[in-house]
Structure 1
Amino acid sequence: MFVKICGLRDEESVAAALEAGADAIGFVIAPSVRQVSVAQAARLAESVRGKAWCIAVTRQPPVTVVDEIFDAFAPDLLQTDQGDVSSLPPRAQERVLAVYREHELIPDRLPACLLFEGSQSGVGQTANWTLAKKLVARTRLLLAGGL
């Protein structure tokens, strides 16, 4: 099992997630009630490096924001919707965790690993378990939403 905890905004929460055994911490750069700035993510990530992966959680990020994320924060992975991947700069495409949603068409060819969730991020909605079971037979899968 691989556990990624997202939406943490302070050092105490990050420390608690690490102590609980989180494998990755997702810092939400996308607009959200749990959003942090790139600078905040970089600062919070200092205590995470070497203990867990740092993931920049985005959605339809402009190239300028992606560049800022990689220059100032340097995450292990950039999480964004699968439809965003082709518009990312090459350095981001090499370290992307693509998000696939249950209402979207799932292509025949899948990446080596993907994140699968319900139709909307950040609302605690559980993904379609039947479809998740089919996907896990085809690729490495991270489940998100409502867990």
Structure 2
Amino acid sequence: MPSNKDTTPAPPRPPLGTRVRSDTFRHSRASVRRARVFASRVLADWSAPVNADDVRVCVSEMCTNALLHGGRPGRLFLVRLSLSETALTVEVHDGSSAAPRPRSAAEGDESGRGLLVVAALSDRWGMRSRDGIGKLVYAEFDVPAR
């Protein structure tokens, strides 16, 4: 993981005045595409001043991790976007308490690069436990000052 990334826990609640939108998705591969479409629509509705392609890629990677490592079939996962004056935050909530760990994939490996991609495209990322079951993984994208 690049050393210039801050993986400290996300604030427990978005700051006052923050726009928030969330949706739940089934534990299926088709949900990754649906979550990406959801994020695209939210970004467009908000005219969010961030690189939408980077956000969509991070949503895809984080949702794929939620499916592969974050829960059981039949369970839902949640995607939440929040936009403040300083950052857009993407959260993916799942049913596993296991912390995500970036790893180095070998050249021929078909997986294992998702968190490295999230770290490279976002300004910050990390995880925190949820009350009860599960965790949330987040990626933050700084909003340019006006």
* Structure with greater contact order relative to length (CA < 8 Å, sep ≥ 6): 2
Could you say whether these structures have the same fold, taking a TM-score greater than 0.5 normalized by the shorter chain as the test? no
